[in-house]
Structure 1
Amino acid sequence: MRLDLEAARKVLDSQPFSRLLKARITAFGDGEATLEVDIREELHQQNGYLHGGVLAYAADNSITFAAGTTLGAAVLTSGFSVQYLRPATGVKLVARAAAVHTGRRQAVVRCDLFAVKTDGEETLCAVAQGTVLSAQQS
């Protein structure tokens, strides 16, 4: 089963943790997905930056959704890594993921994570790469 943007939003909304973070999918299709999270004080770590766990969540979910556009709706993250480049500050986190390779049962996806300021300026704050597996039984 293939998903469209509205169906992807329903899947995201079915995840209690995503609802807690108030995450939203703003783009979905053709091997790509974009997930956004507003940067709020309760998501900060002790130094006032967005917590790295929020960035890792956004990377993981956007990677999996991007893979789902190529593998179908039933997918699971096999693994991913995140490289933090600079602290995330601003009003919004944007995670843009794109499949770089899709096979029959797995996809490799890259994700760039940006912190967005009030004026719309984006700063790259982390990069991630993951492998996603089809959960379809053959």
Structure 2
Amino acid sequence: MDQPTTPAALDHKLAFMLLESFNKQGALTSWDARLTSMTPGACEIIVPMSNKVSQQHGYFHGGVMGALADAAGGYAANTLLMPVSECLTAEYKINIMSPGIGDTLIARGKVVKAGKTLVVSSAELFVVSLGKEKLCAVMQQTLFVIPRENS
């Protein structure tokens, strides 16, 4: 019988570099977003519901959903690119399948294909309400690979 595999851990220096980069994300940090999981080729970001991220009906704003999905796909790519390179979004397409009604929004990004100049990644967004996750959006994106600037 096959045993479930545990995702590989990131090198501590790389994880620290990714967290430093994430903490420079003004929009995400102002929304109290947190990078909660990082493994090679994948990451998870969560944001709590607040008036900073809601729209007029009290749901998560579609723009926030798009930004969170974009960041999750990008940081999933960066787990494979850093420390030499990183990425910038070239394009993304998001399908919002249900309103973001809940107390937390979760974006889980993963790399679909990593190349030398482009990376394709995807993300699934879940809204959590009463402790239950519900899939509310899916995103696919293309990212440019760029040299990492040492800051």
Contact 2:18 2:79 in 1 (8 A): no
Which deviates further from its counterpart, 41-50 or 55-64? 41-50
Which deviates further from its counterpart, 2-11 or 64-73? 2-11
SS at match of 2:71: helix
**CA offsets 1:15-66 (integer angstroms, 9 cap, x no match):** 2212211111011121001111001133211122111011011011111101
Match of 2:4? Answer: none
SS at match of 1:43: coil
Distance apart, 1:74 and its partner CA = 2.2
Alpha-carbon distance in 2 for matches of 1:68, 1:38: 24
Q: Please, what is the CA RMSD of the aligned residues?
A: 1.7
Matched, 1:8 2:12: no
SS at match of 1:135: strand
Q: Show structure 2 runs of 5+ residues with no match.
A: 1-10
Q: 1:117 aligns with which of 129, 140, 145?
A: 129
Match of 1:47? Answer: 57
Contact 1:4 1:28 in 2 (8 A): no
Q: 2:138 aligns with which of 122, 127, 130?
A: 127
Contact 2:18 2:78 in 1 (8 A): no
Distance apart, 1:5 and its partner CA = 2.8
Contact 1:71 1:104 in 2 (8 A): no
Q: Show structure 1 runs of 5+ residues with no match.
A: none
Query: Which structure: larger Rg?
Result: 2
Amino acid of the residue matched to residue 98 of structure 2? R
Contact 2:47 2:104 in 1 (8 A): yes
Runs of 4 or more above 2 Å deviation? 2-7, 71-74
Contact 1:63 1:97 in 2 (8 A): yes
Distance apart, 1:84 and its partner CA = 0.5
Q: 1:108 aligns with which of 116, 120, 141?
A: 120
Match of 1:95? Answer: 107
Q: 1:67 aligns with which of 77, 81, 99?
A: 77
Contact 1:84 1:125 in 2 (8 A): yes
Amino acid of the residue matched to residue 129 of structure 1? Q
Alpha-carbon distance in 2 for matches of 1:23, 1:12: 9
Amino acid of the residue matched to residue 28 of structure 1? M
Contact 1:71 1:107 in 2 (8 A): no
Matched, 1:18 2:28: yes
Amino acid of the residue matched to residue 142 of structure 2? T
